[in-house]
Amino acid sequence: MIPVEKNKEYTVTIENISSDGNGIAHIDGFAVFVPQTAAGDTAEILIVKVLKRFAYGKLLKIITPSPLRCESDCAHYKRCGGCQLRHIKYDAQLEIKKDIIENAMRRIGAFEDFALDGITGMDKPERYRNKMVFPIGRADGKNVCGFYAQRSHSIIPLTDCAIGDEINGRITGAVLEYMNENGVSAYDESSHTGVIRRVFTRKSFCSGEIMVVISANARKLPKREKLIAKLRNISDKIVSVILNINMKRNNLVITDENVTLWGADRISDTLCGIKFMISPQSFFQINPVQTEKLYQKALEYAEIDNGMSVMDIYCGIGTISLCAAKLAKRVIGVEIVAKAIADAKENAENNGIQNAEFYADSAGNLVPRLIARGETPDIVILDPPRKGSDDATLAAIVKAMPKRIVYVSCNPSTLARDARCLADNGYTIEKSQAFDLFPHTMHVETVLLMSRADNGSVEKA
């Protein structure tokens, strides 16, 4: 028998935090997940959903607060859901993330004694994002801009977000003014009518340059000069205004079709002494302060010298590849997104780096072919998306027998799975460090060093 009922209230004690940021309680041994709670809270909850093995509860009242709890400085976080941990002290957030990584490595990867060497947090865990996306819609009969409420596409109107730059509120305000003054409609998902879908901002932390991208269900903006004038009046740091055309029924944040309305079509930023040109579609880590620390650790683990070859798999626009190329004899970067590879090649040229080659194809297709034709990297750097790597890529890496594999992961579960595959093929975890690139959220990055046995006994796949 399931010991809880939907729409019934219970008093619970929160025991831990799940990997998606919910508090975990038990009622007669039955797990209940409760958002916006902290380990140690005693709380009154309402059961809102019951499944076979667990239930979800809604927080009604904190009876006894956990010592880990703090007052949120954001009026919207309970509805927004973007910052799942904003009610928890920052030091405790880091411990939660550390525990989640270690638990995944032990439970999924079967590394029984795994422990991180540490987790690197931020001195100032606010205003860290260099990219923000604000949907636009209608609410209470007027145009609004903000964030989607949890598990919905209802927009919570807001004028600021504490993890993004303060200028974003002025930018979104200017867009709404332009819409209201010129009769430009907000996009409506249900009817596929209206014009403005989203406001997308990028900021260079190095130069301060700002790009504003307007996603629209149209090929032209009415009276676009009015919008451009409003944006230019905000700050001379706004150097790029771009129209991103999306006339399909989908929820893509950004498409491949851009029209530069004013200024530059890209902005520049610098990481680890290398200049990168960033377009609207470019993948560029959203927290440059922490990204530099992460990349420095990855390169430290790699121990690259000028006689070594490096293969950077899932290389994006070449951020880690070009950092490694300053140390290595030769670097090969692999990435499925052709536009990212074009950017990587241009970034190499702009920085005078001639020992880096880039190829556009899926890792599963290309890496085995590269290995089969005789590419034998001394070092492999893996930085896959959340789904992790794939069997074909991992088998090819094992066949190439690199001395060291540096795995940069944004998902502890897939990191643990892939690390187990590599461990079963003769690689040993030597070092590990986590980096908090996303304070107040459940996301975390991990850098793992795996080395091949010195006796070279790894069997070829």
Catalytic amino acids?
Answer: 410
**Rounded to an integer, what distance in angstroms lies between the CA atom of residue 10 and that of residue 56?**
12
Contact 164, 440 (CB under 8 A): no
Burial of 262 (0-12, 13-18, 19+ CB in 10 A): middle
Tokens of 61: 């009242």
Instruction: DSSP letter for 364, please.
Output: H
The single residue listed with the structure tokens 């009622």 is: 27
Tokens of 18: 């799940």
Task: State how far Cα 427 lies from the chain centre.
Answer: 27
Contact 416, 268 (CB under 8 A): no
Helices then strands, counting H and E runs in the chain, come out as 10, 23
For residue 90, give the 3-state DSSP assignment: helix
Helix (H) or strand (E) holding 277: strand 274-278
Q: Residue 88 contacts by C-beta under 8 Å, 6 or more apart in sequence?
A: 17, 38, 68, 69, 70, 96
The single residue listed with the structure tokens 């790029």 is: 240
**Rounded to an integer, what distance in angstroms lies between the CA atom of residue 450 and that of residue 459?**
16
Contact 192, 246 (CB under 8 A): no
Contact 379, 407 (CB under 8 A): no
Contact 266, 278 (CB under 8 A): yes
CB atoms within 10 A of CB 54: 16
**Rounded to an integer, what distance in angstroms lies between the CA atom of residue 273 and that of residue 220?**
38
**Rounded to an integer, what distance in angstroms lies between the CA atom of residue 335 and that of residue 312?**
9
Contact 163, 83 (CB under 8 A): yes
211 strand-pairing partners: 202, 240
